[in-house]
């Protein structure tokens, strides 16, 4: 199954808001990959929290809990 990639434009916007004036396409692709990998890790944690709570539905409080966690 072929997965559709996220467009680069939103990642360009994120980079520019952070102060980047120019970024190469390979740099932008690397930024996209890093952001998506981190999002996938967070999503896995959110699912674990939801299952631990005995639910199948992810709720806002699950997302908030994972995003507030301080990494050790």
Tell me the pLDDT tens digit for each residue of 52-71: 999 999 999 999 999 987 66
Tell me the average pLDDT across 15-25. Answer: 94
Residue 2 located in a structural domain: no
Determine if residue 17 is left, alpha or beta; phi over 0 gives left, psi from -120 to 50 gives alpha, anything else beta: alpha
Has residue 1 been placed in a domain? no
Region 36-55 average pLDDT? 95
Domain count of the fold of the chain: 1
30: domain CATH number is 1.10.20.10
- pLDDT of the residue at 6: 87
Name the average pLDDT for the chain: 90
Q: Which region among 2-6, 15-19, 21-25 has the lowest average model confidence (pLDDT)?
A: 2-6
Q: How far apart are the first and last CA of the chain?
A: 36
1: pLDDT strictly greater than 80: no
């Amino acid at each position: 199954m072929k997965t559709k990639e996220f467009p680069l434009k939103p990642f360009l916007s994120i980079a520019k808001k952070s102060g980047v004036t120019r970024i190469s396409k390979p740099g932008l692709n690397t930024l996209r990959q890093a952001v998506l990998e981190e999002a996938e890790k967070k999503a896995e944690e959110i699912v674990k929290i939801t299952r631990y709570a005995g639910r199948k539905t992810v709720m806002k409080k699950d997302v908030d809990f994972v995003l507030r966690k301080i990494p050790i």
